[in-house]
Amino acid sequence: MACCHYFAPSDGGDEAFAVEGATVAFGAGVLAEAGDHAAALGIRRVALMTDKVLAGLPQVAAVRRSLTAAGLDVVLYDEVRVEPTDESFKAATRFATEGNFDGFVSVGGGSVIDTCKAANLYSTYPADFLTYVNAPIGGGQPVPGPLKPHIACPTTCGTGSECTGIAIFDLLEMQAKTGIVSRRLRPTQALVDPACTDTLPKNVVAASAFDVLSHALESYTALPYSKRAAPKRPSQRPLSQGANPWSDLGCREALQILGGNMVKGVIEKDATDARHQLMWAATLAGIAFGNAGCHAPHGMSYAVSGLVRNFQPDGYPADAPIVPHGMSVIVNAPSVFRFTAPACPDRHLQAAGWLGADTRGAGEADAGEVLAGQIIAMMRATGVPNGIGGVGYSVDDIAALTEGSFPQRRLMDNAPRPISKDDLAGLYRSALAYW
């Protein structure tokens, strides 16, 4: 397909890309549809999964009411861990196995939705835990067949997990963040209710929206599918297939929405319409990165969140230090896009323009700086930390951060240019502070 020179054929590269969608119902109040969708999917006895904090909030109550009104037998599981681990995945699996459910509903952020995907998988196809986990850490075995129906209800405008076949967790014994990736994990139905964002604290909206922004930027600038080695068999084409014309559509629209609404949606508490737009951008970017895959800012983020010492932002639980996912991603982003711009400068410039940068007179050599400058301006306007230094790291941590993220091959190899270990250390060094 010669629709764009970025996708020009290459020797040994894949010759086709997959178009995979998610099934989404989007609209304020849509959580009240959960019962009808569940009944239509044939669910009678349902596991309702969430975390301890959300369990007491109106969103979970609304979903539960709807499921009960539809005549379903509902059992609540509120033990999901924020930033899940293999242990918390296993605990949810035990609950799912013992409960004998014929379907699942998850209400929460990425941690809840991902945990529900894993519980559905391991209770449906029991196996040693590492069997389906990404190689080389796990066995990378394909999921044997379809899972039980899963209705995912995101409560933040960030992860896009409701649209993807990815479940991320910390493998405790190796202190590594890894995941399970299979199109079979994609929820059967997503119910995206933008009203969930109305009461979110400012920092939570900022972190979520920057996660969306990076999903869209990384998918748009990822290695093109035509430069990724062709799979041995077409049915083995990876879910993270690289940038492609289908994911481009969602990225472009998401970036334009973010350019117009993000700062307002974060800093103005009553900017309901802007926040609802951010939820739509999250959905679009979720579909896009679920098909294209992210690259280095996400690959680097896992070490930034995993090695946290004492950072505790407002709006998050005060019981343990945390670098929220979106913050751990965006602190790397300007540094990465300065580095990747020479691989596809026109894409970096286009993206900067969609986000609101003035690109008049900018040439290819300026692309990385223009995009990085626009991201930095948005970071400053929304009050997020100034680089990895802003979340507690110094030059002394660069070796550990590099060791922690270099093995993230699924993500690092999806960048538009190769990243050596020295390159990666340099990327962290350039991410220490931006202003």
Q: How far is the CB of 142 from Zn ion (least distance, A)?
A: 24
Least spacing, CB of residue 427 vs Zn ion, in Å: 17
- In the bound state with Zn ion, the residue whose beta carbon lies nearer, of 86 and 211, is 211
Residue closest to Zn ion (Cβ): 211
CB 262 within 8 A of CB 382: yes
Q: Closer to Zn ion by CB, 72 or 180: give it.
A: 180
Tell me whether residue 101 or residue 302 sits nearer to Zn ion (CB atom). 302
Residue closer to Zn ion (CB basis): 74 or 168: 168
Cβ proximity to Zn ion: between 14 and 211 the closer is 211
To Zn ion, the closest distance from the beta carbon of 38 in angstroms equals 27
Binding residues for Zn ion, rule: CB under 5 A, are 211
Task: Find the shortest distance in angstroms from Cβ 168 to Zn ion.
Answer: 9
As measured in angstroms, the least distance from the Cβ of 354 to Zn ion is 19
- Residue 198 CB, shortest distance to Zn ion, in Å, is 22
- Least distance CB 144 / Zn ion (angstroms): 28
Would you say 211 or 248 has its CB closer to Zn ion? 211
Closest CA to 332 of 304, 310, 354: 304
Residue 46 or 209: the one with the smaller Cβ distance to Zn ion is 209
